[in-house]
A and B are shown apart, each in its own frame.
Chain A
Amino acid sequence: MQKFSLLDGLVVPLDRANVDTDAIIPKQFLKSIKRSGFGPNAFDEWRYLDHGEPGMDNSKRKLNPDFVLNQPRYKGAQILLTRENFGCGSSREHAPWALEDYGFRVIIAPSYADIFFNNCFKNGLLPIRLDAAIVDALFKAEAKTSGFKLHVDLEQQKITTPDGTVYPFEVEAFRKHCLLNGLDDIGLTMQHVDDIRAYEHRRKVEAPWLFS
């Protein structure tokens, strides 16, 4: 997993609540058996005017000029600013894969769906929760500033706006540690193999039917 520590990133505002993972990456692209290459189809149904299918040459498809990601001023954006309950619905990890492959490293929203939130941390993507009022202020500040960038510091757990306003954010200590160091969860759990075996040994006596 790629590490995350600091980012100075351009912000793109996606002003919608309850953006679901079906919208982030439509089902036809879930047929892939790979982890990469989902970026060109992130938000496919909103981003293109035609219907997308796997295997199409996306560079030849007609973009929807009204969709915010397609506006030239947001080219190269790495921070997605959005509304409450982002990533709801399906557990598909293809959603964070698509966002990460598109180039996003940070998402800022008042709230996230639990499974999506969890999946982000497995993929070097930092989902930040801020109060709805702060998110609203960021939307307003972005609208007034061309090339609106934010400075995100995971170590210090703070976001700094171009005018110097600082917003602290919460992140669980364990997730922060893994993200800062790019750690693989499986490798960490494997250090506790003896504990897992001891649990199984005990549980086989208590509830033997679970092991048949």
Chain B
Amino acid sequence: MNNQTLYDKLWNSHVVRSEADGTALLYIDRHLVHEVTSPQAFEGLRIAGRKPWRTNSMLAVPDHNVPTVSRVERIHDPVSRVQVETLDMNCKEFGVTEFKMNDLRQGIVHVIGPEQGATLPGMTIVCGDSHTSTHGAFAALAFGIGTSEVEHVMATQCLLIKKTKVMQILVEGKLGNGVTAKDVVLAIIGKIGTAGGTGYSVEFAGSTIRGLSMEGRMTICNMAIEAGARAGMIAADETTINYFKGRPFAPQGELWDKAAAYWQTLHSDAGAKFDKVVTLDAAAIKPQVTWGTSPEMVVAVDGRVPDPKQESDVVKRSSMEHSLAYMGLQANTPITEIKIDKVFIGSCTNSRIEDLRAAAAVVRGKHIADNIMLAMVVPGSGLVKQQAELEGLDKVFIAAGFEWREPGCSMCLAMNDDRLSPGERCASTSNRNFEGRQGQGGRTHLVSPAMAAAAAIAGHFVDVSK
């Protein structure tokens, strides 16, 4: 067959059996686990007297609740501490590999999977976390699941699931100066909307995507879920395969050769048909800034806050008005006139070494503006942090007035102590600008690492392409 999509290939190679209505039992190769969505699943196994089907498919790490300040002492929030200790206890009881809080390899689950080679091309990968779509950057079928499904995968190594439709998003051409993968994916979400990908898996393709590093590709697939698509994916190529050489969980020797030959086949065939195709011109994409409380509420940095009066759809107009009130913004304000209070560089979207390098390049030799109350960098993993320190990036950030923290999810969702206070406005490299996401009443603007860094220096948004 030479008319299969990448999604078809990944799907077909994992079907254990199919029901008459199309529901399939799909085999799962890698199950990533974190402390927030797993305790009830482990408890379910215990109550039913079940054991995990294949513990060597599992890799666990605490990331959502961990403090990003010193970890010499135990977590002081007793509720968070119980959750992290429950993960430790469950992994010990069931024999699951875990990178504990003080392990150098600890970090955000979607950063450490690829970093360790626990994520590999051709795999099915699940995690009780919607940003599991990140791993699709490696030509894997990866998506987030709920806790009941976490328990189902633990117990059976499979998921009951139906095939989705497939959308191809083609981005062609050369990106402009200062325009990054984050801007591309925000522009995509702005174009198709937060429900545009609902019911689809999305394959990102085109010369722009092929030209991105693996870090950039992960940023794109990470936010597929923000366009409503449960899975995002990108074909394997030399960039993909080279990424895995020498990674601890990746195959070695003869197995490497065999695997690499298979990975070469992980792309959509020339004759493949997609249910929908969307195209974007890379050259037309400018640095993006969200202005509202949904990732689709996004404009170019040289634009203005939109005016709800111009919106004819009643439901949309009402949500725009609601968002502007929450965000404390006036319609028609130029984006570059929006002043910010805090800056967060981190999250599973943008906390990898390339992201930190891009931000450091902007702040080197400068200092954060007087109105910035807090600017923080939270590396995605202990190994990212170590690499950044080897390159001296920590010193660049600290000299510029940033705080240099320990790895974790941190202020992307504010489950630990890193959070916004009511009314505070943040330039954030994370993925969600929902109401209260970064702290009750907090106001989030999603941007790229370079844009967040530049905003920290200026005290307001600036166009890094100029």
On A, residues with C-beta under 8 Å from B are 15-18, 20, 22-23, 26-28, 30-35, 45, 51, 54-55, 83-85, 88-93, 96, 111-115, 118-119, 122-123, 172-174, 185-186, 188-190, 192-193, 195-196, 199-200, 203, 206-212
- The stretch from B66-74, B144-152, B270-278, B452-460 touching chain A is B144-152
Contact assessment for A186 and B151 in the assembled complex, using a CB-CB cutoff below 8 Å: yes
- The stretch from B34-42, B328-336, B392-400 touching chain A is B34-42
Contact assessment for B435 and A22 in the assembled complex, using a CB-CB cutoff below 8 Å: yes
Residue of B nearest to A23 (CB): B435
Q: A91-B129, A119-B146 are in contact. Are A83 and B39 (CB under 8 A)?
A: no
Q: Which residues of B contact A89 (CB under 8 A)?
A: 130, 225, 432, 434
Residue of B nearest to A33 (CB): B39
Q: List 29 interface pairs A-B (beta carbons < 8 Å), by A numbering.
A: A18-B195, A23-B435, A27-B437, A28-B415, A31-B65, A31-B80, A31-B83, A33-B83, A35-B43, A85-B198, A88-B194, A88-B195, A89-B434, A90-B130, A91-B130, A92-B36, A93-B37, A113-B198, A114-B198, A114-B199, A118-B146, A119-B149, A185-B160, A186-B155, A189-B152, A193-B156, A199-B16, A207-B122, A209-B251
Which B82-130 residues sit within 8 Å CB-CB of chain A?
82-83, 86, 120, 122-123, 128-130
Q: Is B291 an interface residue (CB 8 A)?
A: no
Contact assessment for B228 and A91 in the assembled complex, using a CB-CB cutoff below 8 Å: no
Partner of A91, one of B23, B86, B128, B198: B128
Contact assessment for B16 and A85 in the assembled complex, using a CB-CB cutoff below 8 Å: no
CA–CA, A18 to B316, complex, Å?
10
Partner of A31, one of B16, B79, B164: B79
Residue of B nearest to A22 (CB): B434
CA–CA, A19 to B182, complex, Å?
24
CA–CA, A93 to B144, complex, Å?
11
- The stretch from B171-179, B208-216, B232-240, B255-263 touching chain A is B255-263
Residue of A nearest to B40 (CB): A35
CA–CA, A196 to B54, complex, Å?
12
Q: A27-B414, A115-B230, A195-B16 are in contact. Are A91 and B29 (CB under 8 A)?
A: no
Contact assessment for A23 and B436 in the assembled complex, using a CB-CB cutoff below 8 Å: yes
Given A33-B40, A111-B195, A174-B23; 4 other pairs, CB 8 A cutoff: A31-B36, A93-B148, A188-B160, A195-B17
Q: Is B299 an interface residue (CB 8 A)?
A: no
Partner of B23, one of A26, A111, A122, A172: A172
Q: Which residues of A contact B413 (CB under 8 A)?
A: 22, 27, 90
- Interface-central residue, A23, A186, A203, by most chain B CB under 10 Å: A186
Residue interface bits B408-445, CB-to-A below 8 A is 1, else 0: 00000111000000000000000010111100100000
On B, residues with C-beta under 8 Å from A are 13, 16-17, 19, 21, 23, 25, 27, 29, 36-37, 39-40, 43, 48, 50, 53, 56, 64-65, 77, 79-80, 82-83, 86, 120, 122-123, 128-130, 143-149, 151-152, 155-158, 160, 162, 164, 194-195, 198-199, 225, 228, 230, 251, 255-256, 258-259, 262, 294, 315-316, 318-319, 322, 413-415, 432, 434-437, 440
Contact assessment for A186 and B230 in the assembled complex, using a CB-CB cutoff below 8 Å: no
CA–CA, A113 to B43, complex, Å?
27
A53 CB, min distance to chain B CBs, angstroms: 9
B217 CB, min distance to chain A CBs, angstroms: 21
Q: Which residues of B contact A209 (CB under 8 A)?
A: 120, 251, 255-256, 258-259
Q: Which residues of A contact B160 (CB under 8 A)?
A: 174, 185, 188-189
Contact assessment for B195 and A115 in the assembled complex, using a CB-CB cutoff below 8 Å: no
A190 CB, min distance to chain B CBs, angstroms: 7
CA–CA, A30 to B228, complex, Å?
22
Residue of A nearest to B128 (CB): A91
Residue of A nearest to B316 (CB): A17
Q: A16-B319, A93-B148, A199-B27 are in contact. Are A45 and B130 (CB under 8 A)?
A: no
Contact assessment for B43 and A33 in the assembled complex, using a CB-CB cutoff below 8 Å: yes
Contact assessment for B228 and A203 in the assembled complex, using a CB-CB cutoff below 8 Å: no
CA–CA, A32 to B13, complex, Å?
37
Partner of A173, one of B21, B56, B230: B21
CA–CA, A118 to B129, complex, Å?
14
Q: A192-B16, A212-B251 are in contact. Are A115 and B145 (CB under 8 A)?
A: yes
Q: Which residues of A contact B294 (CB under 8 A)?
A: 18, 20
CA–CA, A200 to B14, complex, Å?
10
Contact assessment for A115 and B315 in the assembled complex, using a CB-CB cutoff below 8 Å: no
Q: Which residues of A contact B316 (CB under 8 A)?
A: 17
Contact assessment for B82 and A33 in the assembled complex, using a CB-CB cutoff below 8 Å: yes
CA–CA, A192 to B434, complex, Å?
41
A21 CB, min distance to chain B CBs, angstroms: 9
CA–CA, A190 to B158, complex, Å?
10
CA–CA, A33 to B195, complex, Å?
31
